[in-house]
Amino acid sequence: MDGSNHNYEFTNDWFQAAAIKNWDSLVPQIKPRKILEVGSYEGASACYLIGKNDWHEDLELFCIDTWEGGITHKVAKVDMDAVEQRFDHNISVAQTESGKNISVHKMKGMSSDLMPKLIAFDDCLWKENKPHGDDLTMSPKLAIDAFTNVFSRKLKIVPAPLYQLYVLKIAD
């Protein structure tokens, strides 16, 4: 993800094509210590953060995904077990190549169930991928909306392009 020759196994270039420019300007400004990503898929953004991290020795990444796929993945018959295996592989490659002790917490399940367990964490840069198809109940949107509404006085929404939400904790 940093231009070096890696042994990553990515099947798409969404992160490179749509997000990396924003992250290149946003991440150095915020210098997050803890990062929560909802919708990790093959781990492209997590690998980018692991490879680029030069701001914290104790960086922690929290990657939430069901690895079950949404409607579009089911229609396309995407093998989500293989996607999850690629996530595991890619994170392992990134951690090994970085030579840093970066903690990656893989959290498998629904964001609405897992996010309440993370509320106590601070310094989060929070990224959401596009929701799972048209079924709102299968999307992290409900959890994200609830989280941002409940903690609205303690968060700052960082301007970003559509389909991504970046939140910075500003108060305890």
pLDDT of residue 166: 77
C-alpha distance from residue 11 to each of 102, 117, 121, 168 (Å): 24, 31, 32, 30
**Is the pLDDT at 2 greater than 70, yes or no?**
no
Q: Report the range of poorest mean pLDDT among 52-61, 92-101, 115-124.
A: 115-124
Looking from the CA of 100 toward its CB, the CA atoms found within 13 Å total 19
Domain spans in the chain, listed from the N-terminal domain onward: 26-169
Share of residues in the chain with pLDDT > 90 (%): 34
For residue 70, report the phi and psi dihedrals to the nearest 5 degrees: -100, -165
- Looking at the chain, the number of H-run helices and the number of E-run strands are 7, 6
pLDDT higher than threshold 60 for residue 119: no
| 131 vs 155, residue with greater confidence | 155
Taking CA atoms, 57 is separated from 13, 26, 52, 60, 170, in Å, by 28, 19, 12, 9, 22
CATH 3.40.50 fits 26-169, yes or no: yes
Q: Give me the residues paired with residue 108 across strands.
A: 65
The DSSP secondary-structure symbol of 124 reads: E
More confident residue, 126 or 148: 148
Q: Tens of pLDDT along 79-96?
A: 999 999 999 999 999 999
The pTM (predicted TM-score) of the whole model is 0.72
